[in-house]
Amino acid sequence: MSGLEVQKLSVAIDRAIIVDEVSFKASSGEVVGLIGANGVGKSTLLRGLAGILPATGEVRLDGAAVGALSLKVRARAMAYLPQGQTVHWPIDVHQLVALGRLPHLAPFSRISTADEAAIQAAMDKADVAEFAHREAISLSAGERARVLLARALAVEARVLLADEPTAALDPLHQLHVMQLLRAEAAGGGLVIVVLHDLALAARFCDRLLLMHEGRLVADGAPTEVLTPRNLEETYQVEGYFAAHEGAPIVLPWRPSA
């Protein structure tokens, strides 16, 4: 298949199983939302897919075993955007976004014209070009979040793994980021994104993967996954369900009895 195939992926930390035999397939052109309550293994699963944490099971990209790829080839194929917006050094935004091109560079080589074009395009997409010559540590948390998204986009990877990219953003930029992720998928990429905002997940994702206690408990279209029963069993909340302009609306409404 064209895309990602995951078979019985498990991740253990300090002998505790955090992700327990998760299997799914995701195709190029999809935005797949990874949802679930705090502590169920969403971020750990994403890091296992990216190869940041050791995992058992199998991950195949376009039919090839990801574990057999060199680190550089893997870094070109799969871009990872972690949680948080921490930047600890006084680097300017252009240089920070340029780090996304490292998987494409030979040792000691310089940024090429093509690399510079990718950097500029990523900054334009993430709406951070105006910050190009500012130090990243001088930006707000939301601005840094968009800069780090631009760094991930600059990789031009086939797969983008994004962990809560809207968490620090105002409503306008939340919508902007989700529209951007949809555009990346429309261009042939595969986006797997961890989300806590169920309204954004319902509206912008093609599919949702719902996790609970380390396991995948539902996989399907948003209206199939975000059901009253699933919200109660995995989030312990009752939901409000509606539709607007043909898109589903799902909001956590009250704690379940």
Lowest mean pLDDT among 141-150, 219-228, 229-238: 141-150
CA distances from 143 to 58, 130, 136, 138 (A): 36, 11, 9, 9
Q: What is the mean pLDDT of residues 236-256?
A: 96
Measured between alpha carbons, how far is 23 from 168 in angstroms, rounded to an integer? 30
pLDDT for 136 beyond 80: yes
Question: H or E stretch including 22?
Answer: strand 16-27
CA distances from 217 to 49, 225, 229 (A): 18, 9, 12
Lowest mean pLDDT among 73-87, 122-136, 189-203, 231-245: 73-87
SS3 state at 21: strand
Residue 157 buriedness (CB in 10 A; 0-12 / 13-18 / 19+): buried
Find where tokens 């075993």 sit.
Answer: 65
pLDDT digits (tens, 9 = 90+) for 171-205: 999 999 999 999 999 999 999 999 999 999 999 99
**pLDDT value for 90:** 86
Q: What is the fold, at CATH topology level, of the domain defined by 3-255?
A: Rossmann fold (3.40.50)
Q: Encoding tokens for residue 209?
A: 């993967």
Q: Where are the domains of the chain?
A: 3-255
User: How many CA atoms within 13 Å lie on the side-chain side of 116?
Assistant: 4
Q: What is the pTM of this model?
A: 0.94
Measured between alpha carbons, how far is 129 from 251 in angstroms, rounded to an integer? 34
